[in-house]
Amino acid sequence: MRTANIICARSTAIKATALDGRKALSALLIACAASASAVAAPPPGPAASLAPNADPAFPFSREIDAFARANSAGLPVRDATLFLGSSSIRLWDIAGSFHDIGTVNRGFGGATTAHVLHYYKRLLPPVPPRSVVVYVGENDLAAGTSPEAVSRDILTLLKKLRADYPRASIAWLSLKPSPIRWTLRPKMAQVNAAVAARAKAEGFDYLDVGTVLLARDGLPDASLFRPDGLHMNARGYQRWTGLVDNWLDHLPPVATARNAS
């Protein structure tokens, strides 16, 4: 799977002139996704026992334990922005990207919305955050969960955050397009629309972070992604940082949020 994904992702990085335009690139992206799903997973070997979180009963135990240790180490970060979700959050250089505010990163790779809900209480920082940024749901669709179920789970998570943090500003980042998961784009659009439609009523903001990752032809810009064709590189994260930073700039001042609480 890894080899197939890397080959496909590297292929999508070839300039459009070499691919003979939009049609060739579109065909290549679809072929990549198909080849990735067709490759059988390798049988478990000796290396499997060395992989982190190998216990299927507790697939994220080490990450969750690390969050607990971070909570107990030193003074809690007050008036922080909590970043919560899957690997797109975990791989983001949150502290370096938002150096002028306090941040807490609670992203763990491979997480679905169900995983975040399962570990919910153990993911929260020791003091209430000023704001919360959530990215989750993409892995749900990749695992075969229906868009309707994914939307329900995301809204359940956002409702829990709103109930626990009534004074905090909350933003959900739309599901992003990527070369390796381009065939999931229609389902992602369905989830994005369903969640966006409930934003005002449920008291959170919907941030479109997918459009900035598209090239002029409407396909994912491979130059913004890592060789795996799934995760963003530094240039891709710069675009996300700009959008989220703009959202944070329009939140109430920290002093106002603290006095209100």
| HEC-encoded secondary structure of the chain | CHHHHHHHHHHHCCCHHHHCCHHHHHHHHHHHHHHHHHCCCCCCCHHHHHCCCCCCCCCCHHHHHHHHHHHHCCCCCCCCEEEEECHHHHCCCHHHHCCCCCEEEEECCCCCHHHHHHCHHHHCCCCCCCEEEEECCHHHHHCCCCHHHHHHHHHHHHHHHHHHCCCCEEEEECCCCCHHHHHHHHHHHHHHHHHHHCHHHHCCEEECCCHHHECCCCCECHHHECCCCCCECHHHHHHHHHHHHHHHHCCCCHHHHHHHC
In a domain, 13, yes or no: no
pLDDT at 75: 80
For residue 7, the model assigns a pLDDT of 39
Residues 6+ apart with CB under 8 A from 166: none
Q: What are phi and psi of 169, to 5 degrees?
A: -85, 135
Note the pLDDT of residue 156. Answer: 98
- The predicted-structure confidence for 161-204, as pLDDT tens digits, reads as follows 999 999 999 999 999 999 999 999 999 999 999 999 999 999 99
Task: Supply the mean pLDDT for the chain.
Answer: 82
The string of pLDDT tens digits covering residues 43-52 is 444 333 333 3
Specify the CATH number for the domain of residue 215. Answer: 3.40.50.1110
pLDDT at 207 > cutoff 50:
yes
The total number of structural domains in the chain stands at 1
Residue 51 lies in a domain: no
231 lies in a domain?
A: yes
Residue at 87 is within a domain: yes
CA distances from 104 to 7, 54, 81, 88, 239 (A): 34, 26, 6, 14, 20
The CA–CA distances, whole Å, from 79 to 93, 128, 132 equal 19, 7, 11
Instruction: Reply yes or no on whether the pLDDT at 10 is more than 60.
Output: no
Domain that holds residue 72: 61-260
* pLDDT, tens only, 96-127: 999 999 999 999 989 999 999 999 999 999 99
Q: How far is CA 39 from the centre of its chain?
A: 25
46 belongs to a structural domain: no
In a domain, 15, yes or no: no
Would you place residue 254 in the very low, low, confident or very high pLDDT band (cuts 50, 70, 90)?
low
Rounded to 5 degrees, φ, ψ at 221 are -80, 105
In angstroms, how far is CA 116 from the centroid of its own chain? 12
Phi then psi dihedrals of residue 172, to 5 deg? -110, 130
Average pLDDT over residues 149-170: 98
Structure tokens at 193: 């629309």
> Does any domain span residue 31?
no
pLDDT at position 70 is 87
Residue 225 has pLDDT above 70, yes or no: yes
What is d(CA 245, CA 97) in angstroms, rounded to the nearest whole number? 9
Would 146 be classed as within a structural domain?
yes
CA angle 86, 122, 113 (to 5 degrees): 35
User: What's the predicted TM-score (pTM) here?
Assistant: 0.76
Closest to 187 (Cα-Cα) out of 134, 140, 133, 135: 140
pLDDT band at residue 255 using 50, 70 and 90 as cut-offs: low
pLDDT at 213: 98
Residues 6+ apart with CB under 8 A from 10: 227
Tokens, residue 4:
């197939």
